[in-house]
Structure formats: C-alpha cells, structure tokens
Amino acid sequence: MIYLRLFYEFFKVGLFSIGGGLATIPFLSDMGGRTGWFSAGELANMIAVSEATPGPMGVNMATYVGFHTGGVPGAVVATLGLVCPAIIIIAIIAGFLKKFRESRSVEAVFYGIRPASTGLIAAALAEVCVIALMFHETGVETAPGEFVTRTELFYWPAIALAAAVFVGLRLPGLKKLHPVVFIAVSALVGIVFQL
C-alpha cells in the first residue's frame, strides 16, 4: 500500500510542478505535512543534498523520500511516479507537435504557464529561505544539566554564510570559480561550525 501511495503522491508532484526541481519544493512541503514522511528540517537537508549531488533535483528528492519511506523499492516507485507524467506528456505532445507547432493557442498556453512556473519557483525560494535562515531552535542551559529550547527569529550564522557567498560570487577574482567550489566551501563551513 505504501508503494501505491508513494507513486500517487509523486505522480501529482511530477504532473503539476512545471518549472523544474525548485518548483517541486512547495508540493514536497505540503506532502511532508500531510503524510508525515519528512519534516521541514529534513526537507531543507534534502534540498541541500539534492543541489549538491548530480542529477535533477526533483528526482534526487523523490528517490530520497522513497528510500527513507519504503527502502530501495520505495525509491524506485517514487522516482517513477515523479517522471511518469513528463514521459506521458512528452509522448502526447510529440505526436501532435508538427500539427500544432505554429498554433497561437499552444503558444498562448505556454505564455500563461510561465508566470505560474515563476510563482512556484519564487514560493520555493521563500520556503527555503524561511527553513534555512529563520526560526532556529537552540538549546539553552538554564541550570547545570537543564536545557530549555529557545526559538530565534533569525539564524544569524546561516545569514552571514549566505551573505558571504553572495558577496563572493560578485568579487572579480572569485566570480570565475565554478559554483561547486562555493557549495563545497559552504558545506565545509556548515560542518565545522555545525550550522
């Protein structure tokens, strides 16, 4: 039953997340809340790992959730669920492509999809920023051996790291470096300082 649910949930994500991997984030956030398969913090980790590993981000995240939920078969089923809508749609479009290549209606549909795709990516950016940069919980020792969890509105170390990367990407000497260098350095800083 879990495999059918995995396929169904990721089929919906693949069907409606037009715009690439980042557009899957709002759908995955909703899925995590409804199913309990992963938390917002785990979603942030999935995003970070998916961005740092080869392959499409949405596929990497589907594989991770499927593996976490149902082992290797779950990973396969979730990944198939995510990519099946694209395969079906491409097969349908390929059959009609020559006929509708110059159609104004088809052009208008794609023109209308652009703002929706942009909105999904902007929503994903906002959600990632909130997860990574805000509402950080820390344990504060109030007495020897007694800890209280405190939530801070902004997570200043992560904000400082993001600002440093942003500035580094604009410096003439560092601008030419491959983005993987910035990802690797940020990962190292996160490990060292436990961000």
Q: What is the DSSP string of the chain?
A: -HHHHHHHHHHHHHHH-TTSGGGGHHHHHHHHHHH-SS-HHHHHHHHHHHHHSSS-HHHHHHHHHHHHHHHHHHHHHHHHHHHHHHHHHHHHHHHHHHHHTT-HHHHHHHHHHHHHHHHHHHHHHHHHHHHHHEEEEEEEEEETTEEEEEEEEE-HHHHHHHHHHHHHTTSHHHHTS-HHHHHHHHHHHHHHHT-
Read off the pLDDT of each residue in 82-86 and give the average, rounded to a whole number.
89
What is the per-residue pLDDT for 16? Answer: 82
Residue 146 has pLDDT above 80, yes or no: no
What is the per-residue pLDDT for 75? Answer: 92
pLDDT in tens, 156-174: 888 888 888 888 888 888 8
pLDDT in tens, 31-53: 888 888 888 778 888 887 777 77
User: pLDDT grade, residue 98 (50/70/90)?
Assistant: low
Distance separating alpha carbons of residues 69 and 25, to the nearest angstrom: 18
Lowest mean pLDDT among 127-136, 160-169, 173-182: 127-136
Residue 76 has pLDDT above 90, yes or no: yes
Distance separating alpha carbons of residues 181 and 175, to the nearest angstrom: 11
Domain ranges of the chain: 2-133, 155-193
Mean confidence (pLDDT) of the chain: 81
Distance separating alpha carbons of residues 122 and 80, to the nearest angstrom: 26
Decide: pTM greater than 0.75: no
